[in-house]
Structure 1
Amino acid sequence: MLRALYQRFSHLLREVAKFGTVGAVAYVVQLATTNLFWSVLGTPLLAGQALGTVCATVVAFLGNRYWTFGHRARTGLAREYVLFFLMNGVGLLIQVGCLWFSDAVLGLDGPLARNIAGNVVGVGLGSLFRFWSYRTWVFPARDAAEPGTAPAAEAPASRA
């Protein structure tokens, strides 16, 4: 039974693992650049968070397009890029909303509160949305985007 479950969901597990790896790299970029904007450049709170996220988004797009979802349908670089950034815009709103709530509603300010609200809670909730939206709209399964081709789930098991 466990083997059957693994075989059924192995492609999803690989995508989740790759998404997590790309996300971890992008997260380090986001943390470093956000804190650089806040601490070194004196950028305002929400603007620094947004700029750090934009830098991480470029890294995430490249990693997800060419590695995480590289086996899925190619629907055009421009289309994927626009949708990726739109979905990240929604993820950014989730992230900045968490930061705003912590600061304006809960009255929690300071480096630790900022990082927990924006970079832990916000990134976590935004990441759940991003994974779902990338699989659904940005990098669709081959059968959904290209009629007549084999679905991505039927791809050979040797793919990593």
Structure 2
Amino acid sequence: MSARPFPRGRPATSTRAWRHELAGFAAVGLLAYAADLAVFTCLRGPAGLGPITAKALSFVAGCSVAYAGNAFGTYRGRGPRGPRPCAVFFAVNAAGALVQLLCLAVSHYGLGLTSQRADTVSGAGIGMALATVLRFWGTRTLVFSAEGRVGTWTG
């Protein structure tokens, strides 16, 4: 019989653990956003690159910061899931970016809400919120697994 780190009936993902994980994920996300913005600004300004090229490169930079922050910070106690966790992480983040673009496209072109405020609310507000939920789920489910972790409560 193995020792259980948690009493019967109490799951390992307590409210405190969820808050800690969400806070770590949010902090890493803010750092990744700052890296994305800084790289984009430098590539568009002094480097003189076009907006699509600059955004593609800044997206890779932001994803790299997010992956490192989550791997060595938020999910450091979990092993990567599968043979290519970095590729899966980038795919999850690309899916999040598509969610943001889809929200913007539906609002702007589908609903005819074309003001700058409407674009900001749909893309950076609603789109970002939905994309963040997708990224959180994808990162903890598809990229970093609690399976095989020492001290994991298994019910």
2:3 corresponding residue in structure 1: none
Normalised by the size of structure 1, how large is the TM-score? 0.68
Structure 2 match to 1:150: 150
| CA distance in 2: counterparts of 1:28 and 1:99, whole angstroms | 22
Q: Report what 1:25 is aligned to.
A: 31
Unmatched 5+ stretches in structure 1: 155-160
Counterpart in the other structure of 2:137: 132
What does the per-residue CA deviation read over 1:133-157, in whole Å, with 9 as the maximum and x for residues that have no partner? Answer: 111110010xx2x3xx534469xxx
1:93 is aligned, of 82, 85, 98, to: 98
Write the letter of the residue equivalent to 1:118.
G
2:87 alignment counterpart? 82
1:90 positional shift:
1.1
Matched, 1:70 2:62: no
Q: How many Å separate the matches in 2 of 1:115 and 1:48?
A: 20
Report which of the two has the higher share of helix. 1
* Structure possessing the higher radius of gyration over alpha carbons: 2
Higher relative contact order (CA 8 A, sep 6+): 2
Contact 1:61 1:84 in 2 (8 A): yes
- SS of the aligned residue for 2:51 comes to coil
**Structure 2 unaligned residues grouped into runs of 5+:** 1-9
TM-score under structure 2 normalisation? 0.70
Distance in 1 separating the partners of 2:131 and 2:22? 15
Identity of aligned residues (%): 30
| Aligned-residue offset at 1:104 | 2.3
Number of aligned positions between the proteins:
142
Q: CA deviation at 1:50?
A: 5.1
Cα RMSD of the aligned pairs, angstroms, is 3.3
Q: CA deviation at 1:109?
A: 5.3
1:58 aligns to 2:64 (yes or no): yes
Deviation for aligned residue 1:55? 2.9
